Amino acid sequence: MNYSRFLTRVSKNRQPSLIRELTNLLSDASPELVFMAGGLPNPQMFPFQAASVTLKDGRALTIHPDLMTDCLQYGPTPGYPPLVKQLKSLVEQLHSPPQWAESDLIVTAGSQDGLCKAIEMMVNPGDYFVTQEPCYTGTLSILNPFKPRYLPVKCDREGLNPTALREILSQWNPEEIRDVEDNVPKVLYINPNACNPTGVSVSEGRRREIYEIASAYNLIILEDDPYYFVQFEKPEDFPPSFLSMDTEGRVLRFDSFSKVLSSGIRIGFVTGPKPLVQRILLHKQVSILHASSLSQVMINELLRIWGIDGFLKHTQSVQEFYRKQRDSMMEAAERHLTGLCEWAVPTGGMFLWLKVPGVVDTWDMILERALKKDVILVPGKAFMCDPSSPCQYMRAAFSVVTPEKMDKGLMNLAELIREEITLQQT
């Protein structure tokens, strides 16, 4: 595949940092080599010597002095090598990427930083951008400064609709545009599992169709999948990822530990074709340099103690927790919102996407009147590519609220909606 077609002028201009490249060599260097290249501070002068992190299951991660040095010293930009190794095993086991030999995996400071760098790598100001709609607000925040020409693809109860995708791309002839660089769509963004904000997942059949369409039009697929591990089905029933069907090397996949291990630790990872991952790496080299070494060691040691099986077992307990939360939320919704709202039952993650047919636009209802009713949600407009159109939707999160609060909250919400409908009529 010709990847240079997908790179912005800015990305193409990026040069590798020689100092970072030289520092990367350190891990394989001969012990005789006297390394005076990188400005590494001296570990003798680090004030922290050792640490112990206790887990909730009673076990402890011991960070002895050598390991502490790993935590405190500059590390390689692609990631702490033992962690990268474990993550590669994990990805191979879960996705068996068809293009694995031509792929690379790097650790990022949260998967969103990887996504941000990927978008900044590929989107020039004013470019077309194909995305599911509604779309995660974080992604829109990354994109909006580019003032892209959004090609929003409607989602329904089964996620991004391939027919809608075909339709929006139909203004172009795939054969004619697939090698063109300017003024054509080149990137597709999708949040395939327990989508934020809709809470639904895209079926396997649809995924294969979407991949075919992307192939025909030569699009890069940005597979943003932070809720992969909190899908509510059994793992053996998870629909295959785009990465696992990527025979052509057009998928950049963004994975996250934020929902299952820690959000504040800021660790995610990107998997994809080497030429594209390389460009993301160059941007990382000169910005954050690398994800926090301590964070990487903490995740690495945890995975080492648990093993992949232990990790997957943990994710299942997290799924179980969110499934119960969803069930409580559904009960409350049925109790209070029947007749006022419509919704699809979330199949994973932590969001319920409510449509309010009786209200023209939820924005003012929420931002101006919801507080007095002691309930706050996110108005659906925040997830739309065009914030000027009215939106009847809103997003409720069920991750941290108790069942009692859910009940109270949705009761208040019902009152708010009734009052809004009355207000609208006057």
Partner 1 sequence: MDYSKFISKMALNRKPSGISEMRTYLRNASPSLVWLASGVPNAQKFPYKEATFTLEDGKVITIKPDVMATCLQYGPTTGYPPLLNQLREMTFKIHSPPCWPTSDVIVTLGCQDGMAKAIEMILNPGDSILVEEPCYSDTLCILSAVTPNFLRVDADEYGMCPDALKRVLQETEKNNPDKMPKLMYLVPNASNPAGKTMNEERKRRIYALASEYDFIILEDDPYYHLQFGDPEKLAPSFLSLDTDGRVLRMDSFSKIVSAGLRVGYVTGPVQLLNRIVWHMQASVLCPPGITQVMISELLKEWGDEGFRNHITNLRNFYKSQRDVMLQAADTHLKGLCEWTVPDGGIFVWFKVLGVKDTENMIKQRAVKKDVMLVPGNNFMLDTTKPCQYMRAAYSNVTPEQIMVAFKNLAELIREEIALQDSLTTA
Q: Which of residues 127-166 bind partner 1 (CB under 8 A)?
A: 137-138, 141-142, 144-147
Q: Which residues in 89-233 belong to E strands, given as ranges?
A: 103-108, 128-133, 149-156, 159-160, 187-190, 220-224
* Binding-site member from 1, 3, 5, 53 for partner 1 (CB under 8 A): 53
| Spatial CA neighbour of 137 closest among 195, 223, 202, 186 | 195
Q: Looking at this protein, which amino acid is placed at residue 118?
A: A
Q: Which is nearer to partner 1, 101 or 400 (CB)?
A: 400
* Binding-site member from 408, 415, 419, 421 for partner 1 (CB under 8 A): 408
Window of 86-94, 171-179, 215-223, 278-286 that interacts with partner 1 by CB under 8 A: 278-286
- Which residues are 151's β-sheet partners? 130
Tokens 């090698």, residue located:
179
Chain centroid, CA 418 distance in Å:
35
CA 52 – CA 62 distance, rounded (Å): 5
Window of 64-72, 152-160, 335-343, 416-424 that interacts with partner 1 by CB under 8 A: 64-72
What is the DSSP-derived secondary structure letter of residue 341?
B
Q: Which is nearer to partner 1, 214 or 366 (CB)?
A: 366
State the minimum distance, in angstroms, from the CB of residue 324 to partner 1: 11
CA 125 – CA 206 distance, rounded (Å): 30
| Spatial CA neighbour of 403 closest among 335, 301, 353 | 335
Q: Which residues in 267-356 belong to E strands, given as ranges?
A: 268-273, 342-343, 351-355
State the minimum distance, in angstroms, from the CB of residue 180 to partner 1: 23
Q: Which is nearer to partner 1, 142 or 213 (CB)?
A: 142
- Is 14 near partner 1 (CB under 8 A)? yes
- Is 400 near partner 1 (CB under 8 A)? yes
Size of the site for partner 1 (CB under 8 A): 115
Window of 127-135, 167-175, 338-346, 407-415 that interacts with partner 1 by CB under 8 A: 407-415
| Spatial CA neighbour of 300 closest among 252, 216, 291 | 291
- Is 389 near partner 1 (CB under 8 A)? no
- Is 278 near partner 1 (CB under 8 A)? no
Q: Which residues lie closer than 8 Å to 278 by C-beta, 6 or more apart? A: 104
The pattern of x and - marking residues 302 through 341 that bind partner 1 according to CB under 8 A reads x-----------x--xx--xx--x----------------
Q: Which is nearer to partner 1, 117 or 186 (CB)?
A: 117
For the chain, state the CA radius of gyration: 23
Q: Which is nearer to partner 1, 242 or 398 (CB)?
A: 398
C-beta separation of 55 from 268 below 8 A: no
* Binding-site member from 206, 207, 250, 283 for partner 1 (CB under 8 A): 283
Q: Is 100 helix (H, G, I), strand (E, B) or coil?
A: helix
Q: Looking at this protein, which amino acid is placed at residue 269?
A: F
C-beta separation of 390 from 374 below 8 A: no
Residues between 104 and 123 that touch partner 1 (CB under 8 A): 109-110, 112-113, 116-117
Q: Which is nearer to partner 1, 71 or 245 (CB)?
A: 71
Q: Which two tokens stand for residue 74?
A: 């500059």
- Phi first, then psi, for residue 224 (nearest 5°) are -95, 105
Q: Which two tokens stand for residue 65?
A: 């002095």
Within 10 A of 386 (CB to CB), how many other CB atoms are there? 10
CA 223 – CA 243 distance, rounded (Å): 8
Residues between 351 and 370 that touch partner 1 (CB under 8 A): 351, 367
Q: Which is nearer to partner 1, 211 or 311 (CB)?
A: 311
- Is 289 near partner 1 (CB under 8 A)? yes
State the minimum distance, in angstroms, from the CB of residue 223 to partner 1: 18
- Is 264 near partner 1 (CB under 8 A)? yes
State the minimum distance, in angstroms, from the CB of residue 400 to partner 1: 5
- Is 100 near partner 1 (CB under 8 A)? no
* Binding-site member from 188, 200, 280, 377 for partner 1 (CB under 8 A): 377
State the minimum distance, in angstroms, from the CB of residue 127 to partner 1: 13
Q: Which residues lie closer than 8 Å to 273 by C-beta, 6 or more apart? A: 1, 3, 99, 102, 103, 104, 249, 250, 252
